[in-house]
Amino acid sequence: MTLARIEWLHLRNLATGSWCPDPGLNLILGENGSGKTSLLEGIHLLGRGRSFQTTLVQQLIRHGQTEARVTGTVSDRVGFRHSLGVQLGRGTRELHLDGCKPASSVELLRTFPIRVISPVSTALLKEGPRQRRQFLDFGVFYENAGFLEAWRRYMKVLGHRNALLREKKTHELEAWNQELERYGTMVAEARACYGARLLPLLQDTVKCFLPAVSRIELKTAPGWNEQKSLIQALRDELPGDLRQGYTQSGPHRGDFSLGVEGRSARAYLSRGQTKLLVYALILAQSRLMEASDTPHTGCLLIDDLASELDGHNRNRLVDFLAEQRLQCFITATDATAFNRVIPACVHLEQGRFRTDIIQSTTKTT
C-alpha cells in the first residue's frame, strides 16, 4: 500500500493542507518545531488510528480547536484504492474506511500497514519483550489470516483462567488449560514460522548496515519451557500461578532474541550498532511484506533521521531505501544531511506546508 494523498485539518500546528506523496522516497524538511513529526503522526493516524508519540490522541487537536481530521487515499500494488480517515474530537475518535465506520483500527491496519523508526525505536532490542511481541505480531498479522482470531481467543481464555486463579477455583481450570493449549500453540507456531521467514532477509539487510557482522541469529521463544507442551507447563506451574493470581506461561510471555557472532546482540552491540540492527530488523520486515504475495507493502516513517545516524550510515540507509519498492517518509532539518538528492521533498515552515520544489502531482496549500 502506498499513500497516494493525505489531507489534514487542525493537526497539532498544521492548520490545513493536502499532499500527494511519491510512492517511493519522500523527504520532509523543516526547522525544529515546524511540524515534521506532526505530519508523520498524521500519516500514522491513517494506518493505526493512533499516534506513535502519545497514547492521548486528543493531544493532536490543534490548540484552540475542537476537532482534528486526517483523511487519505491509499493504493495497493494491483491498483485498488481505499479511502481512510480519522476524526478526533474532544474525547471522541471516529474511524472511516471506504465510507464506512470500521469496527476497530485493525481494519485500518489491515489496509495500510505502517512502521515507524524514531529515536525511541531502539527500545525494540533494549527494553522488555512487549515491543518484540508486537513487532512479530505485526508481521504475522499480514501473513497468517487466522492469527488475529487465534490471538484474540487466546487472550479471552487467558482472562478467564486468571479470574479462576484469583478465585482459587482450581477444579474448573482444566477445560481452560486445553483451550489455552490450542490457541496458544497456534500463536507461538505462527510467530516461530514468521521468525524463520524473516531471518534470511534480516541477514541480508544486516550485510548493508553492519558489514562487519558475519553471523546473526533470530530465535523466537514461545513463552513457556520449550521442553514441554504448553498444557504441561500450565499444569506444572499451577502452584505458582495460584500464588501470583495469573498465568505465567504462554505466548503472552513470548519473545525473540537476536544473536550476533554467537553472543546476545543486546549485550554485545554498541548503542549506534543497536540502532542499525533495529533499522535492519524493521526494514527486513518491510522487505518480507514486499516479497510475500499479499497486496500489501509496508509504508515506513523515519523521524529525525539525521540525528539518529552518522553521515555515512545515513547515506547508506537512504541509498538502500531508494532501491526498495517501499514508500518511505523521512524527516530532517537539513537536506544537506544527505549525499543523494531526494526529488520528492516538501518543506514545512511553522506549520505551513510548502511544496514548491516537488513533483507536479503535489498540490500546494
Ligand X SMILES: Nc1ncnc2c1ncn2[C@@H]1O[C@H](COP(=O)(O)OP(=O)(O)OP(=O)(O)O)[C@@H](O)[C@H]1O
Window 278 to 317, contacts with ligand X (CB under 6 A): 304
Among 5, 48, 50, 62, binds ligand X (CB under 6 A): 62
Task: Confirm if 187 and 147 have CB atoms less than 8 A apart.
Answer: yes
Sheet with 92-97, side-by-side order of all strands? 14-19, 2-11, 67-75, 81-89, 92-97
Among 12, 48, 69, 82, binds ligand X (CB under 6 A): 12
Q: How many chain residues interact with ligand X (CB under 6 A)?
A: 16
Q: How many residues does the chain have?
A: 365
CA atoms of 88 and 42, how far apart (whole Å): 11
Beta strands in the chain (DSSP E): 2-11, 14-19, 25-30, 67-75, 81-89, 92-97, 114-117, 216-221, 255-260, 263-264, 299-302, 327-332, 345-349, 352-354
Q: What is the number of alpha carbons within 13 Å of residue 110 lying toward its C-beta?
A: 11
CB of 337 to ligand X, least distance (A): 12
Q: Does 347 bind ligand X (CB under 6 A)?
A: no
Q: Does 32 bind ligand X (CB under 6 A)?
A: yes
130's grid cell? 512487549
Among 37, 118, 205, 297, binds Mg ion (CB under 5 A): 37
Q: Does 13 bind ligand X (CB under 6 A)?
A: yes
CB of 348 to Mg ion, least distance (A): 10
CA atoms of 129 and 135, how far apart (whole Å): 10
In the numeric block, the cell 496458544 is attached to: 184
Residue with the shortest CB distance to Mg ion: 37
- Binding region for ligand X (CB under 6 A) out of 28-36, 204-212, 233-241, 257-265: 28-36
Q: Does 58 bind ligand X (CB under 6 A)?
A: no
Q: How many chain residues interact with Mg ion (CB under 5 A)?
A: 1
Given ligand X, Mg ion, none, residue 32, with its beta carbon under 5 to 8 Å by kind, binds ligand X
Q: Interface with ligand X by CB under 6 A: which residues?
A: 12-13, 30, 32-38, 59, 61-63, 304, 333
What are the residues binding Mg ion (CB under 5 A)? 37
